[in-house]
């Protein structure tokens, strides 16, 4: 099991590759099919944000310790224009594109934690994780 995979994201096909990497790791770790699907969907959302707003970046999927527990961690990074108002970007239904506004708020609902570090002109880092099931 590869427990640290980095996918460079610079076109829509890379969204699928990032999603598949998360799906595989989540399956290997013993997540339920529902959780595997939620993780893959959350990865799709943050990877799509990279292609839509920054043009290019990377999604890293790994197992790491967070808050004293083992977690499947997804870290999406880009050097794009950044998010001027992170709080607003995390509001349900808010979208700067013609999308459904699922994006970051949707990803936050699908995962156990989601942290956004960003500022206008500084790029964006989104880190989100889901606790690994106790049996893994």
Mean of per-residue pLDDT scores for the chain: 91
Contact (CB, 8 A) for 39 and 74: yes
44 bridge partner residues: none
Q: Domain residues of the chain, as ranges?
A: 4-131
pLDDT exceeds 80 at position 102: no
Question: Which sign does the torsion angle of CA 49, 66, 4, 28 carry?
Answer: negative
CA distance 95 to 74: 22
Note the pTM of the prediction, 2 decimals: 0.92
Position 85 scores a pLDDT of 87
**CATH assignment of 4-131, among 1.20.58.390, 2.40.30.10, 3.30.565.10, 3.40.710.10:** 3.30.565.10
Contact (CB, 8 A) for 102 and 112: no
């Amino acid at each position: 099991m590869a427990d640290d995979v980095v996918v460079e994201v610079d076109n829509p096909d890379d969204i699928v590759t990032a999603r598949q990497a998360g799906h595989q790791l989540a399956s290997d770790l013993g997540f339920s099919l529902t959780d595997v699907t939620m993780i893959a969907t959350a990865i799709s959302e943050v990877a799509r944000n990279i292609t839509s707003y920054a043009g290019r970046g990377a999604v890293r999927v790994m197992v790491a310790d967070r808050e004293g527990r083992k977690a499947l961690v997804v870290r999406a990074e880009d050097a794009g224009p950044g998010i001027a108002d992170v709080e607003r970007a995390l509001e349900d239904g808010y979208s700067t594109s013609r999308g459904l506004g699922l994006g970051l708020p949707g990803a936050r609902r699908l995962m156990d934690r989601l942290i956004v570090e960003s500022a206008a002109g500084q790029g964006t880092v989104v880190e989100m994780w889901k606790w690994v099931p106790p049996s893994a």
